Amino acid sequence: MALRLKPLSQQVLVITGASSGIGLATARMAAQRGAAVVLVARSEESLAEAVAEIRKAGGRAEYHVADVADREALQGAADLATEKFGGFDAWVNDAGASIYGTQEQTPVADQRRLFETNYWGTVHGSLIACAHLKPKGGALVNVGSVLSDRAMIYQGTYSATKHAVKAFTDALRMELEVEGAPVSVTLIKPASIETTFQDHARILMDTPGVMVPPPTYDPRLVARAILFACATPRRDLYVGGGGAAISVLGNLFPRGTDLVMQAIGRSSQTTGETGKPERRDNLYQGRPGGAERSSLSGTPQRTSSLLLEAQMNPVAALAAAAGFAALVAGAMLSRRR
């Protein structure tokens, strides 16, 4: 069957991790663009508030309470989408948690729990989505990270989970292509995004609070990338040139990147701000959501990403690059004359 994705306005999306951060931004934006959405997370109060807000604005939304580590509970989201909307056309695996600390500081139990959410939650969601989408077609969008490519000091376990998500996603994509299944599989690789990620982190380091290294980007940029992938087949999408640069440098100059991270890793990821205490540490249970961004003052967020625009519009990007090259060549020729 040929791979054809519906326009976003005609789609039903299931979005995990949708009570805050990137997931919430994606649900709101999708509904604004005419899609129906099923929001999935652990905090029922936050989900109910988000759905009420979307409906008040004229959107179509439902919610399902589930821990993505529990496949049976997560299956309920697919069942709800079928009951309320006749099925779904795209599934977004965004749910995640984080730990800041050294590898020696991090208990094995915490590492296992982080994998249950970040890795196994993605596996569960992907397999549920494929079972539904293979007969009719659709899109699977997994949210990885630039840390899928390069490990970050003091976020070692988180980096490991995102490496695993990348490997699983890449293998699944190949297997579906060999099978001829009409399912688009995209891995989104955000850079440092100013979300509740740092509010929700488990902190094992000696610091009042943590943050993501600058430059930071608006979560709605990631939402744009996700929704683009729901309607347009893409293998990977990076969000934020700063993070993509780390991936490239980490591959080209691994030892040099090690040394840079060792030098600035602590100062760029710790802060004297504590944020809202009620949001702290969602590793084992859900915390209040309802916000796309963190409660830290943070650094100014970048609201655009030329790299993302180039990936979403490669022809226009090539034309612009060619035009710029022609202008430069013309200027150089004029100077020579």
Of 219, 250, 243, nearest in space to 24 by CA: 219
Say how far apart CA 304 and CA 218 lie, in whole Å.
8
What residue ranges in 161-307 does DSSP mark as E strands?
Answer: 183-190, 202-203, 209-210, 216-217, 236-239, 270-271, 301-302
Cα–Cα distance between 202 and 48 in angstroms, integer?
25
Which distant-in-sequence residues (6+ apart) come within 8 Å of 331 by Cβ?
none
Among candidate residues 119, 158, 217, 238, the one labeled active-site is 158
Q: How far apart are CA 54 and CA 142, in angstroms?
A: 23
- For residue 35, how many other CB atoms are within 10 A of its CB? 27
Residue 158 is a catalytic residue: yes
* Residue type (1 letter), 50: A
Tokens (6 digits) for 202: 């488990």
Omega before residue 215 within 30° of 0, cis: yes
Distance (Å, whole) CA 121 – CA 91: 13
Q: Cα(102)–Cα(159) distance, rounded to whole angstroms?
A: 12
Q: How many CA atoms lie within 13 A of 270 on its CB side?
A: 15
The contacts of residue 207 (CB under 8 Å, 6+ apart) are: 100, 270, 271
Cα(132)–Cα(336) distance, integer angstroms: 63
Active site residues: 158
